[in-house]
Every structure is written in C-alpha cells, then in structure tokens.
A and B are shown apart, each in its own frame.
Chain A
C-alpha cells in the first residue's frame, strides 16, 4: 500500500520529526536520529554557531536528512522573517519552521504574527511549516497564506503532558487540506501513537527524547510508536463501544419482513 507523505515537493519516509534542543551532547544527536529513523530535523538557528566547527550543531547532522531551521526566539513576524532569511543565506536550505513566541511564561505561539510571517516567506520561496495553537480559523489563514503543513501543539512546549488539544487537532485534521503535524507537548511514545491514530500526518518530538535517561532508546521507541499509530490509522480501527456487543444479537428473532414480500 502506498502511503507517502509529501511536503514541499519532498517525499518523506519517516513520520517522526525530531528536534535537537536540550541534549547533553551534540554527539548524541546523530545516534538519536539514526535510532528514530527521523528524516526531518529541526534546529534553532539561535543555537547554531557557524564560526566554530565543534560547536556548529549542523555538522553533527547526517547528510541525508531534511534540515528544517526554526525561528525560536522570534517575538514577532519581523524577527521570524529575518531569522529565516539568515538561515537560508547561511546555507540551511529553504525549509523553515516558524516559531513565534511573545509569551515566555507558557511559550504559546502567536498565531497572528505567524500568519504575517508565512505570507512574506512563502512569497520568497520558503517551504513554511508554522508551529501554532490549534485554532481552525488561524489554520485556514495559514493554509491560504501558503503554509506547506500545519504544526499545532499537543500541549504547551516542553511540558510532556501529551495530546491535551486532541479535540482541536482532530478538527484541523478533518478540515484542513494540508499535513497536520503535532508539534510540542508529546511526552510518551503512546501519545505519539495516539496522535497518529487520529490521523496526524506526523509528530515532532524533542524534550521527551532529550530528557529521557536513555535518549537513543527513547528515540527508537518514538519511531516505532509513530509507525504503529500510522498503521492503525490506515487500517481503519473499529469504532469503540461503551458496552460489550453480544455475538448473538438480542433482536435476531425479528424476521426481515421486506424479504418476505
């Protein structure tokens, strides 16, 4: 069965996207990527030290991945745009994850500023994946502005609280004709599987892997969970019932009157 995820003209074989923050050692990152089989990897431009080879995180990334720089630290559209341009000029390609946060307490994304940034960056040829609060109208505006996918949060970033926004994400999956990638808040592989089961196109994980006692093993677990969740979604799970369903129906004695005619 063919089940391909295509974003910005690129075919993506793994539906697990990986973040690179919070790791104790950059040398862990290639191992984590390998174990998770992730293909799309996001990197905060603010942390990339282009001038110092051993501090340049990009040097630790396997060559066959799709690099998705993010605009972490941007407080408004103008800063996000500037960061995206710097990343492209520095040779990071034309993918960008827009991350605009004007609230440092909860780190909630600013949907309004994000729409503005998408409008500008899409016109400049970027493949734009916006991180957002799962709101249908905002997602529609982002789609209209030319976003390549929509990345709603499952819970506030870094909280490992799971798929708290499930109902809202479900609506985006139903209504938005773009890949919906659950970004932020996923703390356990089971939660990643849950997101995939309800039809998310992919899941992005960082904190849950980076802060695990064994990040490489956890990365592998997430890879498997995302694959399992996707297969479950594709297989069309039976609907859940509140009560057990008797295999000998109670109304079986009622004859089909139609067929007797």
Chain B
C-alpha cells in the first residue's frame, strides 16, 4: 500500500457535507483534545472554524512553543539549473518559456556556496528543473560533494527519483527531501501538467515514500496553494504528512504552505487563498501534527512572515533567490517565481531575535565531519 491508495479512499470525500455539520461546540471539544483524528483536522479547516481562529491560534502557539521552543530554523535555496522538460502551466521554468537556460558549473557552485556560507547559514536547499539530460543525478551528486564542505545539512528539491537514486544522493551527503505534489486533486493535476514526465501523478506522489525507504533523514511536503480548492488540498497534504509519520516514524517530517506567486507566463491561479485562509491552514496542521515542522518561504511578505512566527511556523527561508547564480550575480537570469520578502539573512536574524525567537542556523551535523577514519566502526550490528 502507498499513499496513492489513501488518495483513492479519500477521493469521494464530500467536503461540503462535512463542513456543513461542523458546530462551534465541536471546535471547542477539538481544542481540548490531546490527539486529533483526521475528521477533527478537517473540521478545523472548515469555514465555520474560521470564526474561532484566535482561539485556535492560541492553542497552536502553545503547542509549538512546547515542542520547538522559541526557535526558527533558517535555510536558503540554491538554484543549480533551470533546464526543464516539463510544461507546468504555473511555473516560470516551463519548457516553453523563452528564458535563458543555464546550469551552474562546479566552480560556480563553489562560489555560490561561499557567498551563502558567509551569511552564517548552515542549512541549504538545492533545486533544479527536471532535465535528466542537463541536471542528471550524477551532476547533483557532484554539486553535493562541493557543497558539503560548506554546509551541515543539504536538502534537495528536484524531480522525483527512484529509491536507488535517492539512496545514491543520501550516500553523497543529502539528508533532506522537499517535494511538493503541487496539487493533490488528480483531475486538476492532469490539466496543469500537459507534457513531460511530471504528468505521472502517482510517481510524484510516492516520491517521499521512496526517499523514506532509502532512509532519508527529513521530508518536507506541501501543496501549491491556489491550484486547487485550498481546504481539501491542505487536508490531503496533512493526511500525506500523517501517513509518512506513521510509515516512517524515524523521519523528521515537515510541511510547507507555498502560495502561488506571480511568475513568467500568463497563468493566474484559479483559487484565491487569502492571508486568513493561509493562517487557518497552518494552524489546523499544527494542531493535527504537533511535532511536524512547518515551513514558510520568502514567497510571503515580510510583514506576514513576521506575524506567522508565533503561529506554528518552525522553519523559514532567508536571503533567497530563485534564479541560477542568484547568490553571486543575478543580473542575467529570470527566477522561477517572484520573491516577496527580500530581507537579507542578517536582517531576518535580527527581526526574529526582536520577536523573541532564536534564529537557528544549524540543526544538524554532517556525520562525516572531520572525515571518517579507516578503523572506525560506525555500523555495528
């Protein structure tokens, strides 16, 4: 069984009927529970729950403080390549878009690494478009071997791989996987991904499980908000998260809430997701999955991000660029989407501290640190 079976089981959920039955006293009793069931989670995503948003926020804040303390982990994305064979209607790297395509050479990767490392960040997320010709696994591996000299944690946000390929990258020093299903509604998924290998909904959906089988340390998933109806999309993403926690209890799981941003091309999201909706999504997930990480990127504005810190968020990107070579020289390249919060890492650190939180730059240690010795018995039975 995979999460695809779960999707099939949930396919006929009558969301409006469930939402219709939600009562204010039900929200109160959910807030008094220590462990939430899927239907509780769904009730928290209902239109009626939005009237109790402040009450839900107080619970989410307390729960986050209890499990994560006053800490926010910072990371930054590094775009390695924008070659792409897919035609995702909502993406700036769409193969049909006429943009300058390039990938970083290894010396360029090193320059970017140095520039990022100077900011103090230790957690890096590397990204590529989907092109097995231009950015094959072997290329990503070479990049990782350069980058691990500079960072204590390297995550990938690339096209979905096989279990063996994930194992290969983990062996090279990758410890985290970020992969968004984009949209869980399979019908909309088909419409938005007209060409390219990304058409395979199921292969993408099951990617986190394959990485789990390859024993990756951390997995971050999410739905791109705006592509589908947000309440059901967030519900399915939350169910995906719960499924992964159940199946791979040793993996640190987290969820992102990327909202559609303006990008090259004329796609405009069909579903509006307001700030209030975004907050309700984050809070419901926090209560449903108290120990999961919650990530919010620079897609969101500085003001909104500052307010979200107290509402369950545990990880934030900072000093981001979505273009190739953007950390050293971004003049000639168009990004995947527009950044909204343009503050530097330094500014983010100061702001987070001012808000009473500790900006955490390092939360994992590369276990090959100092080099493994020949006589070292790391694996024991």
Contacts and interface: CB of A to CB of B under 8 A. Distances in A.
Interface of A: 21-26, 45-49, 52, 55, 73, 75, 77-79, 81-83, 85-86, 89-90, 101-105, 107, 116, 120, 158-160, 207, 210-211
Contacts of A160: 66
B40 to A, nearest CB: 16
A102 B252 CA distance: 10
24 contacts: A22-B68, A22-B69, A24-B357, A25-B353, A45-B365, A46-B364, A49-B122, A52-B120, A55-B362, A75-B217, A75-B250, A77-B380, A81-B377, A82-B367, A82-B378, A86-B367, A86-B370, A102-B249, A102-B250, A104-B249, A104-B253, A120-B380, A207-B66, A211-B69
B261 to A, nearest CB: 31
Nearest to A206: B69
Contacts of B68: 22
Nearest to A89: B370
Contacts of B362: 46-49, 55
A48 to B, nearest CB: 7
Nearest to B377: A120
B380 A46 contact: no
B245 A79 contact: no
B70 A103 contact: no
B379 A78 contact: yes
Nearest to B215: A75
B358 interface: yes
A24 B379 contact: no
Nearest to B246: A105
A101 B69 CA distance: 19
A75 B379 CA distance: 13
Contacts of A81: 377-378, 380
Given A23-B70, A25-B353, A82-B367, A116 B380 contact: yes
Contacts of B380: 77-78, 81, 116, 120
Interface of B: 65-71, 120, 122, 217, 245, 249-253, 291, 353, 356-358, 360-365, 367, 369-370, 376-380
Nearest to A86: B369
Contact of A211 (B70, B217, B253): B70
A-B pairs, top 6 by smallest CB distance, nearest first, are: A22-B69, A24-B70, A102-B250, A103-B249, A49-B362, A75-B250
Contacts of B361: 49, 52, 55
Contact of A158 (B66, B356, B367, B376): B66
A169 to B, nearest CB: 22
A82 B252 CA distance: 19
Given A81-B378, A104-B249, A86 B365 contact: yes
Given A81-B377, A158-B67, 6 more contacts: A52-B120, A82-B378, A101-B250, A104-B291, A210-B70, A211-B66
B304 to A, nearest CB: 21
B291 A105 contact: yes
A22 B356 CA distance: 11
B250 A104 contact: yes
A45 B369 CA distance: 12
Contacts of B253: 104
A105 B365 CA distance: 21
A173 to B, nearest CB: 28
A97 to B, nearest CB: 15
Nearest to B357: A24
Contacts of A55: 120, 361-362
A45 B363 CA distance: 9
Contact of B358 (A24, A48, A86, A107): A24
Contacts of B70: 22-24, 210-211
A47 B363 CA distance: 5
Given A78-B378, A160-B66, A104 B363 contact: no
B120 A47 contact: no
A210 B65 CA distance: 9
A210 B249 CA distance: 26
A211 B63 CA distance: 11
A107 B249 CA distance: 9
Contacts of A77: 380
Contacts of B291: 104-105, 107
Contacts of B217: 75
A105 B67 contact: no
A52 B74 CA distance: 15
A104 B67 CA distance: 11
B176 to A, nearest CB: 12
Nearest to A76: B250
B295 to A, nearest CB: 16
A158 B357 CA distance: 18
B122 A23 contact: no
B365 A46 contact: yes
Contacts of B369: 86
